[in-house]
Structure 1
Amino acid sequence: MLIQSVFAAAREVFSPALRRILWKSIGLTLALLVLVWLGLTKLFDIFLTNHDLSASYPIIDSFAFFLAGFGLFVALIYLLPAISAIVAGYFLDDVAEIVERKDYPADPPGQALPFGTSLLYGMRFAGLSLLVNLVALLLFFIPGINIGAFFIANAYLLGREYFELAAGRFRPAEDVARLRTEHRGTVLAAGAVVAALVLVPVVNLITPIFGAVLMVHLHKRLTHGRALWTQVRRTDSASIENT
């Protein structure tokens, strides 16, 4: 079920139907990364100016700028899951409508989340992701723990967020939470796939669209299985009663 969903997402993310949304998603992700980069650079420049390291310790000043460049790059990696969630929340309904219409034409279409609700979900997850990844960032210099902490935390967070966005088109929040809990292992594994994608430079720019397509397929496959089982049980019960 999960493997089929992963392959379906990998096949469709670059399809003509989604290509326009993919490019817009990449553009928005890059724009947000640039804004964050400029903000962090400005903060670091203010810090150096206030402490006036260049006047007393020019070597330390140069070394600090080197570390700042590397440190800002690392910080952007840890901030990417939060940025990805914001972008996914913005484009998910457009992606879901295309996937549902193309691959599940016999099913009733999902209902788009109100823009405010979708944005609120993205901002909520972004805040939680920032908090969790800040803790993971503090573990950056501990070998063997840094990447593991980053991967596990984001596998859970990304799996939860993307699944809730996809399932929220068809059911209320409490039902979404219940369904996610029933299939927590599958959702976590799907989140691990998305988290692994985040670790790949350049390719991680497609994370919002890939994650959205993956979770639309996963939600459909999970609920289709439940519906089919319910239909089989009802058929069997009816056969017994007729007998």
Structure 2
Amino acid sequence: MKAILTGHTRGLGAAIAEKLLSRNIAVLGLSRHGNAQLGAQYPALLEQVALDLSDTDALARWLAGDSLRRFLAGDQNVLLVNNAGVLQPIGPIRLQDPAAIARAVSLNVAAPLMLAGAFASASPDAGDRRVMHISSGAGRSAYPGWSVYCATKAALDHHARAVVLDQTPGLRICSLAPGVIDTDMQAEIRKATLEQFPLRERFEALKRDGNLADPKECARRLVDYLVSESFGQMPVADLREIGE
């Protein structure tokens, strides 16, 4: 089994990478920077590509090469986890920087969709192909100040629903909300002003009361679901509603 994973250098992405590698699953990590710790720990299993996924032209050039096809060749069970994403810009629409909006849409939407299409094309002989988008409850419920983030995560959900209708042989897909996790993104939320994010105090309480999920435990449950027989039965799912 082989896996392609975006944003594998920190937070949930690093935890997912570690769980995959610990299962002896070869990982191709795509991120702006490498993960030196995992690279040293799993030199034979982890291949890393330095790539700014918000740069759609750079991503398109990389996908036009044969690196993806070469990595996937010879394996009947292949995975793609679109984890990389960005929360910014936070704030009401009048305060949102156009360049930040463009970066968010490129990283949160264009890159996952580009990778999913290339993944399906590059692995036609694989018997079991699985795509997981890391989505969010924000894609299903609107939050003030998060209009761009909500919209980009909703796009991933609807992409998965539509791909299922294509009925591509051997391809399963799920846009999965992992829950509220104790990562740098949560720290970023707590630093926002109330004007930017009126619900900030709710998230401060989650941290204060110990109600944020541990990234490693979340990654374990996520990978368990990704490789399970039930994966893909629902195009849109929430990890908190999936049994052990």
The structure that has the greater radius of gyration is 1
Q: Which has the higher helix share?
A: 1
TM-score higher than 0.5: no
When normalised by structure 2's length, the TM-score is 0.29
Output the TM-score relative to the length of structure 1: 0.29
Q: Which has the higher contact order (CA 8 A, sep 6+)?
A: 1
More strand by share: 2
